[in-house]
Amino acid sequence: MTTFFAASSASAAGANYVALGDSYSAGVGAGSYLSDSGSCKRSTNAYAYLWKNAHAPSSFRFVACSGARTGDVLNNQISALSSSTTLVSITIGGNDAGFGDTMKTCVLSSDSDCLNAVNSGENYARNTLPGQLDRVYDAIHAKAPRAHVVVLGYPHLYKVGGSCIFGIGDTKRAAIDKAADTLDEVIAKRAADHGFAFGDVRGIFAGHEICGSSTAWLHSTTLPVDESYHPKAAGQSGGYLPVFSRS
């Protein structure tokens, strides 16, 4: 890569920025969805859109989409990149590893069922996901060889020993957070091996997890159900945006 600037640098105003990824990048859960984004549910409160508003880049393409997996990025999003792209952001991998189904199992079933589902997801993350991420990251570099690429991770969802009276217990909460650690470790390693920046959001979300405080940045179970376990607008602006901006 020949473009070395943090997303917050002075050269940001001249950036050609493309925001790829899944629901965490689209801003599902943050409200204020762009009408032309349909079921992708791209939000004007998403970190990418907030960064665009703050820095007025030369161009901005926002193609992140709810439910996206690595294959969806390759088939539907990579085409937004070009040789003139100078900045790329992405969250991807959680859906490949079965995050949604694991959460459903943990909320509705026993501790043992939850632990089994988490273990299955972790095994997938360690053994299958690296190759899928490599294909995505290789494609990003091939399409946008000059770009500074920021790969963002996923936060812990729960405060273990937190203040919630209702909901799942600490055994399940700890297992889900451990799965996030495994996922982030895999993503960080693959990003580093491709020369991409990794933005770890776990630290900045600490104290704002579900059951962590009255100012949780993450939804618990919600209606519509697809917004469950996703960052609220405050999680995008207070969590993802600062990490992206300094990565």
Catalytic site residues?
Answer: 23, 230
Q: Which class for 4: exposed (0-12), middle (13-18), buried (19 or more C-beta within 10 A)? A: exposed
CA 96 to chain centre: 12
CA nearest neighbour of 230 among 247, 205, 203: 205
Number of residues assigned to the chain: 247
Radius of gyration of the chain (CA): 17
